[in-house]
């Protein structure tokens, strides 16, 4: 009986070690969020506001060390989430976005080559189809990220927006002053009609390109209750597939948007071959231990 106990203990230890070595290998957490500070960018309009922090106290407080601050910010400042209600009447507000939609398979579509030669470049249906031909269908419940490589300009307002104005995005004739890539309305339609994504993010200030003044891609996606993520950081570090995205916004009641902390956990995708293999390893390891126990009894 003592030998049996030793066998079971040794087997359990070996299984745990192998699980840690095999299943935990390669996991990485990528922060897709810019810090909020005096350099935080916001869309040039009198409808948006900068981030401002006021330090109330930072130092000794009796026997304690105390830090306490206050901040004000617009809902659509810095790295933020757009609720569908932002540009679609009657759709979900921030506190109504389903919790299950805040976590999903991470998908990155790279349009940086196109954007490098044209600041007004658009992700189109051909780009989506080409991506799927190489990587397979965009999974259900995905949070789709569009990588333009525009993050290299953040937080330089002039380079990032194509304009140094922070009070307006149009000139005296009503034409847009801005230049940065985005998502075409046709691509938005294709995603709505053919795939089941829950959110769309981009590393620019808007997923409608800079020259837009009517924001049709916003309207289309929001009408389908697909949320938006804008000013997403570090998309160059996110893999094309094989991650899970966590987009966790401030829960503002009846909000049209909110600051958001976005993480991509590489190797955490539930449908990845690595994760499936690890699940099989645990199941079969447990069965082996059970058989060994029966035989030695």
19 catalytically annotated = no
Taking every pair of Cα atoms in the chain, the longest distance, rounded to a whole number of angstroms, is 89
Long-range contacts of 187-191 (CB under 8 A, 24+ apart): 187/122, 187/123, 187/124, 187/125, 187/127, 187/128, 187/217, 188/216, 188/217, 188/220, 188/221, 189/220, 190/125, 190/128, 191/128, 191/138, 191/144, 191/221, 191/226
- Residue 23 gets which letter from DSSP? H
- Please state, in angstroms and rounded to a whole number, the distance separating the CA atoms of residues 165 and 167: 6
**Which tokens go with 245?**
């995205």
Q: Which of 76, 80, 86, 218 is catalytic?
A: 86
Say whether 222 sits in a helix, a strand or coil: helix
Residue 113: phi, psi to the nearest 5? -65, -45
- Which positions are catalytic? 86
């Amino acid at each position: 009986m003592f030998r049996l106990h030793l066998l079971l203990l040794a087997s359990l230890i070996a299984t745990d070690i192998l699980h840690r070595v095999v299943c935990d290998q390669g996991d990485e957490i990528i922060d897709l969020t810019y810090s909020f500070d005096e350099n935080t960018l916001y869309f040039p309009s009198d409808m948006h506001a900068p981030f401002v922090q006021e330090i109330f106290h930072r130092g000794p407080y009796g026997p304690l060390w105390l830090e306490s601050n206050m901040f004000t910010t617009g809902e659509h400042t810095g790295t933020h989430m757009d609720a569908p209600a932002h540009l679609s009447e009657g759709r979900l507000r921030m506190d109504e976005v389903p919790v299950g939609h805040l976590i999903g398979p991470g998908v990155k579509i790279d349009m940086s080559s196109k954007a490098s030669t044209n600041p007004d470049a658009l992700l189109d249906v051909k780009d989506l189809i080409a991506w799927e031909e190489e990587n397979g269908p965009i999974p259900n419940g995905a949070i789709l990220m569009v990588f333009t490589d525009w993050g290299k300009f953040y937080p330089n307002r002039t380079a990032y927006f194509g304009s140094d104005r922070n009070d307006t995005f149009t000139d005296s004739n009503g034409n847009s002053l801005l230049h940065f890539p985005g998502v075409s309305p046709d691509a938005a339609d294709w995603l709505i009609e053919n795939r089941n994504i829950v959110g769309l993010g981009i590393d620019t200030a808007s997923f409608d390109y800079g020259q837009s003044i009517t924001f049709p891609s916003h309207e289309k996606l929001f009408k389908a209750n697909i949320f938006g993520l804008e000013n997403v950081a570090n998309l160059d570090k996110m893999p094309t597939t094989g991650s899970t995205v966590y987009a966790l916004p401030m829960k503002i009641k009846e909000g049209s948007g909110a600051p958001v902390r976005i993480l991509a956990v590489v190797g955490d995708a539930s449908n990845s071959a690595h994760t499936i293999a690890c699940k099989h390893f645990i199941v079969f390891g447990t069965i082996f231990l059970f058989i060994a126990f029966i035989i030695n009894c």
